[in-house]
Chain A
């Protein structure tokens, strides 16, 4: 069946939000809170960060008012909603019977997330497949509406990782904003029904053609890494080059910002607390592999030096995830570059690994 494209203007996005809200869903999207780009509930088109551009660079993020601008993402990602930063796991009271904590499963829709975010959710789905708490939150997602990236940012490289700039699957509706018009397509039967409810017309041929051109250009712009196969091979070969990894990580201060903002970093540490009335609680919280305690076990440390933890971070993203779940763990969103206070560019590091291997 050929892909059916529908066309509308921005108001169709507002209508879509209304339809989803009408179904009792909390619609979560990138939105501005004051002048801050956050991820949270939106009620109408006005709440979306349309009319702003996020100008990103190494250790730099600026929001710019721009009517024709394109907003990508921020330090937030859907991970905040699906795999929350701090989550109750068990509660126990006198008698020491541990009861799993309740998970908020109010139904939601993810709206206007980017193709890299979508790819990251697929990674989390596979990694946390048997995690009851993730599954409960994930099952509460009734619809996923993706905004395709017509204009990749300066830190983006989703073209290289094959995770963007267009959405390839696992969504209900995808849309692209093109010069005042919005092009919609369905990724599922339910998505198609949503679009039918919007009562949009079929997209004219020239708009679809324009879409193809824009996405091709976006793919070109976001493909600054060497080919993924070469990256994986070079990383595997580099693992034992201690000197190389010491040098590559020399500017890293182990702050773990990259881990925190990475939409696929899923590691957590357990925090146990108790009070004197006999109640105890176990929580888990995001924990970065760049942090010292990561890799520390009773009596020893697997990665006591920072270069080992940095190497682990990079190898895990490109090599180990691939072996574990059949997908790379890096979705090319570039958050780790933007939010690294030292401005370390993962894309550059990976390119250096490749040239090191061939040199």
Chain B
């Protein structure tokens, strides 16, 4: 079997999802016999932006250099996978969007001269065409392993779009909202994290992103009222949605 040529790129992120890439290969070491990695700065010293079968891009796009890089990556990759919530939706750094850029930068960096960022935080698919989206903060390493195995075998992955609640109920996890009366973003959040937070009795905070194919502005407002009654303030909800669903929030339709 010909090896699957893979490249892993990192843009603006905490790199946690890169660790998940490494973990998934530790859990599935057999994968390493079927992939060759031409670019992965966290893993190897010699890296080159070559033609590959699949480019995995982690992180959000925050400046023109990154835009150029992902355009080049797109040209040289047959398939592009956005890895993690930063790449799919913008990620936690989206919280600065709309704030004064200089103040934000000064609050974080003692020597801000090297920081070159634009005011917006972009998801990967707002810059280039994306074939696979694997959200999560961090991404579920199993989802990535599943995708890579299928690509190695010459297949593809068909995404199933459903809310986290389906996953909870299939696993028999007690409902945080109905039984515990605690705020949980599960009903409006895309599934496939394995229902990690509710399985530990805490509410979902939406890190897999807003279920934007279903939830429009009106429904989101109705949902906001529900979680508000359960004790989550509007500001907290807004912050969570901005942190984990920035790109889809700006695309929400007003009816659907």
Chain B residue nearest to A246 in the complex (CB): B255
For the complex formed, measure the closest distance between the CB of A279 and the CB atoms of chain B, giving whole angstroms.
11
Tell me if B188 counts as interface (CB < 8 A to partner A). Answer: yes
Within 8 A of B (CB), among A251-282: 251-257, 259-261, 269, 271, 273-277
B contact residues around A259 at 8 Å (CB) = 166
How far apart sit A36 and B173, CA to CA, in the bound complex (Å)? Answer: 10
For the complex formed, measure the closest distance between the CB of A354 and the CB atoms of chain B, giving whole angstroms.
24
Evaluate contact between A274 and B153: CB separation under 8 angstroms: yes
Within 8 A of B (CB), among A20-58: 36, 38
How far apart sit A257 and B161, CA to CA, in the bound complex (Å)? Answer: 14
For the complex formed, measure the closest distance between the CB of B242 and the CB atoms of chain A, giving whole angstroms.
19
Known A-B contacts A76-B172, A286-B170; A255 and B165 likewise in contact (beta carbons under 8 Å): yes
| Inter-chain contact total with CB atoms closer than 8 Å | 128
How far apart sit A291 and B166, CA to CA, in the bound complex (Å)? Answer: 9
Evaluate contact between A305 and B256: CB separation under 8 angstroms: yes
**Which stretch in A180-188, A209-217, A335-343 binds the other chain?**
A335-343
How far apart sit A118 and B106, CA to CA, in the bound complex (Å)? Answer: 66
Number of interface residues of B (CB under 8 A): 44
Known A-B contacts A276-B30, A287-B162; A306 and B214 likewise in contact (beta carbons under 8 Å): yes
How far apart sit A275 and B179, CA to CA, in the bound complex (Å)? Answer: 38
Picked from B152, B155, B177, B188, the residue with its CB within 8 Å of the CB of A276 is B152
Within 8 A of B (CB), among A120-153: none
Evaluate contact between A61 and B178: CB separation under 8 angstroms: yes
Tell me if B196 counts as interface (CB < 8 A to partner A). Answer: no
Within 8 A of A (CB), among B158-205: 159-166, 169-172, 174-175, 177-179, 181, 184, 186-188
Evaluate contact between B172 and A341: CB separation under 8 angstroms: no
Evaluate contact between A260 and B169: CB separation under 8 angstroms: yes
**Which stretch in B36-44, B58-66, B115-123, B216-224 binds the other chain?**
B216-224
Picked from A75, A256, A275, A276, the residue with its CB within 8 Å of the CB of B175 is A75
Evaluate contact between B226 and A86: CB separation under 8 angstroms: no
Known A-B contacts A260-B170, A291-B163; A255 and B150 likewise in contact (beta carbons under 8 Å): no
Evaluate contact between B165 and A251: CB separation under 8 angstroms: no
How far apart sit A271 and B178, CA to CA, in the bound complex (Å)? Answer: 29
Q: Can you identify 25 A-B contacts, CB atoms within 8 angstroms? A: A59-B177, A80-B172, A85-B171, A86-B170, A255-B166, A255-B187, A256-B162, A256-B163, A256-B166, A257-B169, A257-B175, A260-B165, A261-B169, A269-B160, A273-B146, A275-B30, A275-B149, A276-B34, A287-B160, A291-B162, A291-B214, A292-B161, A293-B159, A341-B165, A341-B184
Residues of A bordering B, CB below 8 Å = 36, 38, 59-61, 75-76, 80, 85-86, 246, 250-257, 259-261, 269, 271, 273-277, 285-288, 291-293, 305-306, 338-339, 341-343
